């Protein structure tokens, strides 16, 4: 009987007090609740859903409006040391593309982001980024093809760009035509929650 109670306590302790996995989201304004309260953004809404479903995953949102791949690279070492994440989701490059930065420089920065994260033992997730075709088809093609190429090279999970359908609906966009509005945030959460849930199942 005593052995049974000890076993029951061990099982209860490991299931009840297991620490949730930590996911560091390194992104830009698309993930930083731009022009709205943090509680209205898709990241906060997704965390609420994870908590409601009792899925042991904590999203650490380190996204900053206007962030470039170079800016993210400068901040990453301190973030990794502070949070020691199990996963790093990279949602960067959109501002590089909008400003016409060289794709080769973007590739170098993303590569360093990946390697720094992997060096800590974190699993890296890369989000596909798409940009308006303002800079011509050649630049757009080179830019957008970089993400699957890096995912293949470093054996990463490539997550789909959550803005792909949202951006086509004016009712879901701010007047600048770049950022999703408040009405879009629950729809982005609906897209993203299955990807986050998969991490818990791994």
| Closest-CA residue to 43 (of 109, 97, 95, 91) | 91
Which pLDDT value is given to residue 166?
Answer: 97
Which pLDDT value is given to residue 89?
Answer: 98
| Annotation says 83 is catalytic | no
**C-beta separation of 172 from 181 below 8 A:** yes
What's the domain count of the chain? 1
**CB neighbour list of residue 170: distance below 8 Å, 6 or more residues apart:** none
In the set 28, 63, 117, 179, the catalytic residue is: 179
Which pLDDT value is given to residue 2?
Answer: 57
How far, in Å, CA of 68 to CA of 6, rounded?
52
Which pLDDT value is given to residue 8?
Answer: 41
In the set 13, 28, 29, 145, the catalytic residue is: 29
Q: Is residue 80 part of a domain?
A: yes
Q: Is residue 13 part of a domain?
A: no
Which pLDDT value is given to residue 6?
Answer: 42
Q: Is residue 1 part of a domain?
A: no
Taken in order 11, 12, 17, 22, the sign of the CA dihedral is positive
Q: Is residue 17 part of a domain?
A: no
Helix-strand-coil percent breakdown of the chain, rounded to 5?
55, 15, 30
Per-residue pLDDT of the chain (202 residues; tens, 9 = 90+): 555 444 444 444 444 456 899 999 999 999 999 999 999 999 999 999 999 999 999 999 999 999 999 999 999 999 999 999 999 999 999 999 999 999 999 999 999 999 999 999 999 999 999 999 999 999 999 999 999 999 999 999 999 999 999 999 999 999 999 999 999 999 999 999 999 999 988 7
In the set 171, 176, 201, 202, the catalytic residue is: 176
Q: Is residue 15 part of a domain?
A: no
| CATH number for the domain that contains residue 141 | 3.40.50.1110
| Annotation says 171 is catalytic | no
Domain limits for position 182: 22-201
**CB neighbour list of residue 61: distance below 8 Å, 6 or more residues apart:** 25, 27, 31, 32, 43, 44
Q: Is residue 42 part of a domain?
A: yes
Q: Is residue 79 part of a domain?
A: yes
Taking the model in full, what pTM does it have?
0.90
Q: Is residue 9 part of a domain?
A: no
Which pLDDT value is given to residue 34?
Answer: 98
Taken in order 112, 113, 118, 123, the sign of the CA dihedral is negative
How far, in Å, CA of 160 to CA of 194, rounded?
12
């Amino acid at each position: 009987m005593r052995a049974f109670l000890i076993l029951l306590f061990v099982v209860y302790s490991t299931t009840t007090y297991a620490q949730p996995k930590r996911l560091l989201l390194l992104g830009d304004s698309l993930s930083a609740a731009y022009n709205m309260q943090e509680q209205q953004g898709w990241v906060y809404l997704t965390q609420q859903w994870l908590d409601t479903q009792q899925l042991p995953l904590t999203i650490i949102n380190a996204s900053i409006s206007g962030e470039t791949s170079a800016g993210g690279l400068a901040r990453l070492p301190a973030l990794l040391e502070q949070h020691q994440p199990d996963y790093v989701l990279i949602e960067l490059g959109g501002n590089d593309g909008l400003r016409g930065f060289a794709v080769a420089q973007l590739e170098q920065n993303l590569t360093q982001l990946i390697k720094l994260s992997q060096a800590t033992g974190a699993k890296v997730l890369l989000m596909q980024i798409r940009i308006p075709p303002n800079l011509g088809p050649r630049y757009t093609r080179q830019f957008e093809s970089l993400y699957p190429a890096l995912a293949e090279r470093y054996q990463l999970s490539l997550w789909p760009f959550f803005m792909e359908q949202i951006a086509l609906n004016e009712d879901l966009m701010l007047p600048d035509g770049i950022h999703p509005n408040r009405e879009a945030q629950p729809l982005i959460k609906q897209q993203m929650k299955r990807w986050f849930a998969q991490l818990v199942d791994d």
